[in-house]
Structure 1
């Protein structure tokens, strides 16, 4: 069994036909068919079968396919490791980021990385923090910027980039009057000004609340604070974009619970109100703590940690 046998098998499965696989591999179609027949003789079972839609994988082929892909990936990893020793970093790095972190310095970091390693393909993937951290463990992404309230899953290494307090934007809610706690309400401190007064978690849950979507770090932190306070929040709006929630709060549609930095980035004419007891959400840079990591991924992780 040779690597080209496995490469041809994977190509036919992914392309659907021998003809398309041959075009992808830049080889003659009869050569692909001959190599596949030789592989099947070695295995002792048919791996592919013709169907109305092209080539279908047999039960034996489905059993062999993961090992074929793993072998090809291992060989490519070995080549990239040698390139790394020569000072050449190639390949691909997959970066995950929660949409709520769009205002971070990730674009600047990736621009710096691309300038230093132009041969590396960088792909971005969005999702909630929970989804991205799970994808990190499963090997779907190499590096993640995420907000967390608790420790990340086992097998994930991380560094805290920043820790921000959650604040209430739009407190007190429209029509609630200005005589109670948090009566600073609409402040005069300007965009992203200092916190105006404070409000307890128990007081907040009586208002129509606007929170980050489930699975995000700030939402997990606020939900945990509600559990500790023994209260059940009434969520009027959910969104993955904190800037949208801040603008909705500025229109009087409810009270938005957001990280302090997101309020500054939103530029709304409302002073944030502190929440007591203080509740914080951390933004972390996370990567797999064990298992193989490509040279390209190691390079961007190293740059991010230095930055």
Structure 2
């Protein structure tokens, strides 16, 4: 199987668009289309449903995507193993984290890692922390800074680096919400769409027999702090997000905080990716 074709196919699957996939891989859209057609002819099945604007994977395409990602990971691990005996590791490390994690944890990690391994290029993606585990399990990233879920998926390894409580916050001026601090549970809520914080919030509401007044469901804790600072409602965020927010002076912790359980942040990888000397180098640096 042609590794180049696999890379183009995975890029197309991620982008959902021929033009964007071509831009990512620095080739023309016709090159992506031609290689896809060759793959489909080799496999004797249709991998992608096409229209004028986007593409969607068929059931066979989804199965092949998993094969392609695993094959590319094995290929990268093999290439890296050939360089493991050299004086200096060389290659690329894909890392995913939230914006908050990028300046809360990533700076310290890379400040130590870069001088030790200057030949390793870091490919950094930032986004919703609730997607971190999924991006690792799908093989989209080598390493992620993530929140430990209630149940760690099979085949995943997690090394903790910090603990932070979940806290309810409101605007400094409570009058924007039209309620008193003692009545904050009746006020509009701004919470995450998914992830551990949402799971804890749902469990707490059930325990308290509370039907929440949900004003907004958002992706990203930073957006929650921003909306709360503007007086749209009260929000639930990790304390570490609040501590590092440029808006921390515009919000405040609410009184009578419930115990929402531990919120553990750490580094996660697929166990099989630890065979990669590059991934193993970063993993070994983290002290649990």
**Equivalent residue, structure 1, for 2:124:** 124
Deviation at 1:209, TM superposition (A): 0.9
Distance in 2 of aligned mates of 1:263 and 1:13 = 42
2:211 maps to 1:208:
no
Deviation at 1:11, TM superposition (A): 4.0
> For structure 2, which runs of at least 5 residues remain unmatched after alignment?
10-24, 26-30, 45-63
Distance in 1 of aligned mates of 2:271 and 2:155 = 5
| Pair 242,110 (structure 1): closer, same or farther in 2 beyond 3 Å | same
Distance in 1 of aligned mates of 2:147 and 2:73 = 31
2:124 maps to 1:144:
no
Contact 2:100 2:244 in 1 (8 A): no
**Equivalent residue, structure 2, for 1:158:** 158
**Equivalent residue, structure 1, for 2:179:** 176
Deviations 1:107-140 (A, max 9, x none): 3322432222122121122343443212212322
Deviation at 1:271, TM superposition (A): 3.2
**Equivalent residue, structure 1, for 2:238:** 259
> For structure 1, which runs of at least 5 residues remain unmatched after alignment?
1-5, 17-23, 25-50, 182-202
- Greater share of helix: 2
> How high is the TM-score relative to the length of structure 2?
0.68
| Pair 115,275 (structure 1): closer, same or farther in 2 beyond 3 Å | farther
Deviation at 1:74, TM superposition (A): 4.7
Mapping 1:282-297, distance limit 5 Å: 282-290=264-272, 293-297=275-279
Deviation at 1:68, TM superposition (A): 9.2
Count of paired positions: 242
Moved more, 72-81 or 153-162: 72-81
Alpha-carbon RMSD across the aligned residues, in angstroms, is 3.7
Deviations 1:182-209 (A, max 9, x none): xxxxxxxxxxxxxxxxxxxxx6542101
